[in-house]
Structure 1
Amino acid sequence: MDAPTQPRQFLRSRGMKIPKHPDITTGRVRGALREGLYERKECDAVMKVVQQGDVVLELGAGIGYMSTLIATKNPVEHIHAFEANPGLIPYIRSVHEANDVTNVTVHNALLAPEDGAPADFFVRKNFLASSLNRESGPDSIVSVEKVEMRSLPKTLAELRPTVLVCDIEGAEADLLACADWSGLRAAVIELHPQWIGQAGVQSVFDTMHKAGLTYFPKASEAKVVTFRKGW
């Protein structure tokens, strides 16, 4: 007699296997994953600029979707994925494992201008909106976690990334401005103008231009902006 059929444990998204999770792969997230629309703008931009041999620095690893997409679709050298929310780290690793991804290092840490004491990270009901900013949704906070604070300049010197992928919920303006990004070949950044304002958006553009990168409209859409060296 045949063994009973096991319940399906994965969603399929852009050719990847995404483990089902009762608190993560639900509602809109589940639908977007199934339809290949999850973080679509950022995914499309990254696929246009990442190349063989790149070392990718991802700030805001989320559920591990972007690092898995890059690792499975491009022969990059390595990906360093930073995620502040400690509750997501086991799930990120499960996504990597499900897709046989072995060239990603997951860091549960925050990057800052310099090393410092652990910082408060505000976990929200909508895990994608969790951030350092308490005021961006104080009523939705479910817990406050202490997260390691590492120096961004030291991290860049150690890892030497060639591509930056950044989605850090409004911290992009202050954080990116504190480091030298001239070693990058390309950057994909999701802006959050509702929190950083016009001055913050200008700061991101100024920082990238100072690093020798030019705005690349063909790989930009709405709040996702792409920069690269050369044309």
Structure 2
Amino acid sequence: MMDVSVKPEGTPKFIRSRGLKFPYDVRVINSKRRTLLHKDAYELKESEAVLSQIKADDRVIELGAGMGYMSTLMAKRLKVAEIHAFEANPAMIPYIRSVHEANGVTGVTLHNALLGDTAGEVTFYVRGDFVASSMEDNLGDRHGGVIARETVPVRPVSEVFAKIKPTALVCDIEGAEQHLLPLMDLSGLRLVILELHPQVFGQAGTEAVFRLMSKAGLTYFPKASHGKVVTFKRGW
């Protein structure tokens, strides 16, 4: 249930969802997100997959940290000790940190970066609705329009995976998975939870993701999959 707590003057209000606290910043929590948080339904399919499949001893890479919901859920509900959360949007980083602080989260390393083939930089377009920001600059006035242009570092995915040695990947990157997944060394992963975006890359892109996972020894796991959120496991 939602609790918009009225605190003494000078302290923030919070919305509670799944026992977690989220500072009530209207730039992040619009009316739709507020309703979903209220119903414990924010990122429902991904949350259920994560809660049923991630283990406390996993080393998790999360791509697309968003508002810090999933990293906080894993850290607090599942007691995952090592999470690396990557978020491209610089405007979201202070909010994610505030969520982690409000919930006493430890063990999460937050990275304001994208992963790619080689090191570099990209332009990121921050919109009035922070969560809708992206590398696309041609959305007109949708989502509050572009309010800032930021330069975001790109880190080589091969180096990141070699250093962290993840056992689980949680990924929601708005269609970029089609191009990023083939660059990854998936051999050390026991689990992938992925939100597909067929509206971006179509049937061919969806089929390519499934072929890639199968080639890496990761098999579609229907019990923890629902709609566009798909789970792949090794040796189940």
TM-score interval, normalised by the smaller of the two chains: over 0.9
1:73 and 2:77 matched? yes
Q: Which residue of 2 aligns with 1:37?
A: 41
Aligned twin of 1:123: 126
* 8 Å CA contact 1:129, 1:169 repeated in 2: no
Equivalent position amino acid for 1:99 in 2: N
- By how many angstroms is 1:230 displaced? 1.6
Match of 1:26 in 2: 30
Structure 1 CA distance for aligned equivalents of residues 41 and 95 of structure 2:
20
Amino acid at match of 1:38: Y
8 Å CA contact 1:55–1:161 kept in 2: the answer is yes
Q: Which whole-Å CA distance do the structure 2 matches of 1:9 and 1:222 have between them?
A: 34
User: CA-to-partner distance for each residue in 1:16-65, whole Å, 9 max, x for gaps?
Assistant: 01111121122101111111010001100111110121011000000000
Q: TM-score, normalised by structure 2?
A: 0.90
User: What is the Cα deviation at residue 226 of structure 1?
Assistant: 0.5
CA RMSD of aligned residues (A): 1.7
| Residue in structure 2 matching 1:162, options 157, 161, 167 | 167
SS of 1:177's equivalent in the other structure is helix
For residues 174 and 131 of structure 1, the distance between their equivalents in structure 2, rounded to whole angstroms, comes to 16
Q: Structure 2: any 5+ residue segments left out of the alignment? A: 1-5
Residue 57 in structure 1 maps to residue 58 in structure 2 = no
Contact 1:177 / 1:203 at 8 angstroms: preserved in 2? no
Q: Distance in 2 between matches of 1:174 and 1:126?
A: 26
Contact 2:59-2:167 at 8 Å conserved across structures: yes
Counterparts of 1:24 and 1:5, CA distance in 2: 20
- Offset, 1:134: 4.0
Q: Deviations over 1:140-175 (max 9, x none)?
A: 341332100100011000001111000001101001
1:68–1:96 Cα contact (<8 Å) kept: yes
* Mean Cα deviation higher: 204-213 or 218-227: 204-213
Does 1:6 pair with 2:28?
no
Q: Is the 8 A contact 1:132 1:171 kept in 2?
A: no
Structure 1 runs (4+) deviating above 4 angstroms are none
Q: Does the alignment pair 1:187 with 2:192?
A: yes
Give the aligned partner of residue 221 of structure 1. 226
Instruction: Give the deviation of 1:95 after TM superposition.
Output: 0.3
Mapped to 2, the partners of 1:204 and 1:128 lie a distance apart of: 25
CA distance in 2, matches of 1:202, 1:126: 32
CA distance in 1, matches of 2:151, 2:158: 21
Instruction: Name the CA shift for 1:188/1:5 in 2 (closer, same or farther; >3 Å).
Output: closer
Q: Share of identical aligned residues, percent?
A: 53
Count, aligned residues: 226
